[in-house]
């Protein structure tokens, strides 16, 4: 997403949810959405085939378990 698209999205989402976006918070919110949009671009760049299935369950591993 371009910076203009991100600003438009943030403004529209806030309005749709009835949230007031305070001016002193706007830069941080836009920064977060820019970061999230970058993550989305990375994920969307991975080609998937119909045979690729999501994991049935996710089981997190703590850092101490990982070392064993």
Average of per-residue pLDDT values in the chain? 89
Cβ proximity of 29 and 3 under 8 Å: no
pTM above 0.75, yes or no: no
pLDDT higher than 80, residue 65: no
The total domain count for the chain is 1
| 3 contacts: CB under 8 Å, gap ≥ 6 | 30, 34
For residues 4 and 31, what is the distance between their CA atoms, to the nearest angstrom? 12
Domain span holding position 18: 3-58+62-67
Closest CA to 34 of 65, 66, 4: 4
């Amino acid at each position: 997403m371009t910076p203009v698209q991100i600003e438009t999205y943030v403004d529209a989402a806030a309005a749709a949810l009835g949230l007031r976006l305070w001016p002193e918070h706007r830069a941080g919110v836009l920064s977060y959405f820019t970061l999230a949009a970058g993550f989305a671009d990375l994920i969307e760049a991975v080609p998937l085939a119909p045979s690729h299935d999501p994991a049935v369950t996710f089981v997190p591993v703590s850092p101490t378990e990982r070392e064993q």
